[in-house]
Amino acid sequence: MEDILSQVTINNNIIGLSIILVILGRALKSSPMIPNYLIIWILMGVSTILSLIVDFSVSGLVEGFIALSLATTYYQTYKQTKIALEDKSSVK
């Protein structure tokens, strides 16, 4: 396992892919036909497919999961900060 992970290099494509995933996730979130629990699975499939198209290797697969993690972190940071600011402004 260490041999496989030591061969993984992180490209700049991850940032672009994660931005695409954030935009796609927001679009899926606003769609009433898609349940919330399916959004992460759809994003996982999209990130895996797109990263394997760019680089069909274990490294490409790992980059897809890293991009998905970044996109989820971006969205959750935005969401939690927005909630905290709304709560803080309603306390006054």
pLDDT per residue as tens digits for the range 21-53: 889 988 988 888 989 889 889 888 888 888 888
CA 63/CA 70 separation, integer angstroms? 10
**Inter-axis angle of helices 13-30 and 58-91, nearest 10:** 50
Please report, as a single letter, which amino acid is at residue 87.
D
Q: What is the pLDDT averaged over residues 65-73? A: 87
89 vs 82: which has the higher pLDDT: 82
Burial class (CB in 10 A: 0-12, 13-18, 19+), 64: buried
Provide CB contacts within 8 A for 68, sequence distance 6+.
18, 21, 43, 44, 47
Q: Enter the pTM of the model.
A: 0.72
Domain ranges of the chain: 14-91
